[in-house]
């Protein structure tokens, strides 16, 4: 960033919302283009999952798993080749899901629900879930999440005005 010059520009040929990096590959939410992977070695693009993803939503990676939000607000976990491991459909708690992150070594998944004004935590196998935080905790349009694994802190940003930092080690 010292020179502020662009090193490389890559045309991904789709809309691009969330993006993560692992082992020389960029995995990204291509919206109508699905879940895609771009090899930084040769700029080739492969569609891993052929489905429309949620617009404005991020994706997450943990170990050898990718996590993403589908257009129907369901949450999917797949391996790095696109094979689905589990899918959680929970329309009661997840309306217009946006942010997603994976916490700690256990692999719990946290999802922000913009319209439901909550954060839902999902077990690593996708079988259990619960609302962790809600509008009662100050969430109004939670947009994005970030988990600092070293400090066990969860950062949540509402679309407007507020951001919150939670200690999840306790």
Q: How does pLDDT run along the chain (170 residues), one tens digit per residue?
A: 577 788 788 888 888 888 999 999 999 999 988 899 999 999 999 999 988 888 888 899 998 999 999 888 889 999 999 999 999 987 777 888 889 999 867 889 999 999 999 999 999 999 999 999 999 999 999 999 999 888 889 999 999 889 999 888 76
Q: Which domains does the chain have, with CATH numbers?
A: 19-167 (2.120.10.30)
Helix extents (H) in the chain: none
List Cα–Cα distances, 78 to 5, 31, 85, 136, 142, in angstroms. 35, 17, 5, 33, 24
For 38, the token pair is 């771009």
User: Which residue pairs from 67-71 have beta carbons closer than 8 angstroms and sit at least 24 positions apart in sequence?
Assistant: 67/100, 67/102, 67/109, 68/18, 68/29, 68/35, 68/100, 69/97, 69/98, 69/100, 69/111
């Amino acid at each position: 960033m010292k020179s502020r010059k662009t090193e490389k520009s890559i045309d991904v040929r789709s809309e691009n919302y969330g993006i993560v990096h692992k082992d020389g590959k960029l995995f990204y939410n291509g919206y109508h283009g699905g879940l895609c992977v771009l090899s930084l070695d040769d700029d080739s693009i492969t569609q891993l999952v052929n489905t429309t993803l949620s617009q404005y939503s991020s994706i997450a990676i943990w170990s050898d798993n990718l996590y993403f939000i589908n257009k129907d607000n369901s949450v999917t976990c797949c391996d790095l080749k696109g094979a689905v491991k589990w899918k959680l459909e929970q329309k009661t708690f997840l309306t217009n899901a946006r942010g997603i992150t994976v916490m700690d070594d256990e692999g719990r998944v946290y999802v922000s629900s913009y319209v439901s004004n909550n954060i839902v935590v999902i077990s690593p196998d996708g079988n259990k879930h619960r609302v962790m935080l809600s509008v009662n905790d100050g969430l109004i349009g939670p947009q994005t999440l970030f988990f600092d694994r070293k400090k066990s802190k969860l950062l949540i940003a509402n679309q407007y005005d507020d951001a919150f930092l939670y200690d999840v080690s306790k």
